[in-house]
Amino acid sequence: MDIEEELDGIRRQRARFTDFMLGYKFAIDEMITKINILREDFNNTNEYNPIEHISSRLKTPQNIVRKVRRKKFPLSFDSMRDNILDIAGVRVTCSFISDIYKIRDMIADQEDVTIFEERDYIARPKASGYQSLHLLVEIPVFRARGTERIPVELQIRTIAMDFWASLEHKIYYKYDGHVPDDLQRELIQAADVASRLDRTMEGLHESVRQGEVVHLADEATDREAADREAADRETADREAEERLRDAEAAEFLDLLDRETASAAG
């Protein structure tokens, strides 16, 4: 093989890899569009937005190859497609824990989305204290040559969980994965604090929501009472007017009778 053929082969592989990665980029775009539609529609319907922030990431070629080698998978496009399921990733940050499951349910209800794996690290946190809901979903990407179904890793977590995870990532990166024991213990304690904060805020949110319901119910009761009072006043006024008209009519008839009797006499 001469140098030109070798370069041509490299160019073809590069073009194929670019095309391969484009599919995952488009899958991220599709997933974000779906989530944004849910956010806007939910906000319009419920006057409340459960989604605070959306971010995404596409694994770099170097990280993909590194993971393939670490897992001892064949280094081929088919192998990467079948075995590396987190090439495309989308993260959704919420205010409250209940929002996480609302979003999960809304995504699951979409006919063209398939959730084929769910890992609930909120119900069962990792030993490190990490909490998040991880979904592996498959969505259709409509390309010029036809439709492809591509996996996307979807992480849904609260603001407190996201802050903790970001801090953990920085610490593990700084220590190259070998975090001192005392720092690991502090991370676990911080995760517990974040979890308690989430549940406290959830309780406050529910109390406020219930308070609004009670307040609205009280307002409705007050309006009903006011409406009944107004209706009673209207009925009383109408009856008084009718009595007055009856009295005036009786007085007129009595006067007419007297006038008639006087004329006859």
Active site residues: 153
Residue 200, classified by CB atoms within 10 Å of its CB into exposed (0-12), middle (13-18) or buried (19+), is exposed
Coil, helix or strand for 49?
Answer: coil
Structure tokens at 77: 């496009």
> Do 149 and 141 meet the contact criterion of CB atoms below 8 Å apart?
yes
> Do 150 and 24 meet the contact criterion of CB atoms below 8 Å apart?
yes
Residue 176 DSSP code: T
SS3 assignment for 77-134 = HHHHHHHCCCCEEEEEEECCHHHHHHHHHHHHCCCCCEEEEEEECCCCCCCCCCCCEE
Angstrom distance (rounded) from CA 81 to CA 59 = 13
Strands 146-158 and 133-143: antiparallel
Phi then psi dihedrals of residue 92, to 5 deg: -115, 125
